[in-house]
């Protein structure tokens, strides 16, 4: 079985081979990959972005208690239009997804 493949059971109980989709950043919405470099507290983190800039990122309320971030986690951020030194966290990847994206060449320029 190839990496990223998994067995999926449909409603009738039959197993099917399938690929799990991995969310990618949307460039037209100012989203990009980043790596958490430091936890600042008060729902804020410091992240190293794909354009090699360090940004203050805010964890929005819908993610506060559901998704816990650690240093070294791969995330998607959305840069603020009016203040490009700050951003919001949109998505956090698991370690398996991080290795999958690294093998596919999506994470060039990131300290992973």
Correct CATH for 22-104 of 1.20.1090.10, 3.90.120.10, 2.40.50.140, 3.40.50.1820: 2.40.50.140
- The pLDDT value recorded for residue 1 is 43
- To the question of pTM greater than 0.75 for the whole model, the response is yes
- The pLDDT value recorded for residue 111 is 85
Q: Provide the token pair at 105.
A: 């060449």
Mean pLDDT of successive 10-residue segments in the chain (112 residues)?
49 52 92 96 94 94 88 95 95 94 91 82
- The pLDDT value recorded for residue 39 is 94
Residue found under tokens 């919405």: 29
- The pLDDT value recorded for residue 4 is 54
């Amino acid at each position: 079985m190839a990496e990223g493949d998994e067995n999926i059971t449909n409603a009738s109980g039959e197993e099917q081979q399938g690929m799990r989709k991995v969310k990618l950043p949307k460039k037209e919405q100012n989203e990009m990959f980043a790596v958490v470099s430091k936890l600042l507290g008060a729902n804020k983190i410091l992240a190293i972005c794909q354009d090699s800039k360090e940004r203050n990122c805010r964890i929005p309320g819908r993610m506060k208690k559901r998704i816990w971030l650690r240093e070294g986690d791969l995330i998607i951020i959305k840069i603020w239009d009016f203040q490009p030194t700050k951003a919001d966290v949109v998505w956090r990847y698991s370690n398996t997804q991080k290795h999958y994206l690294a093998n596919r060449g999506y994470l060039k320029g990131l300290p992973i």
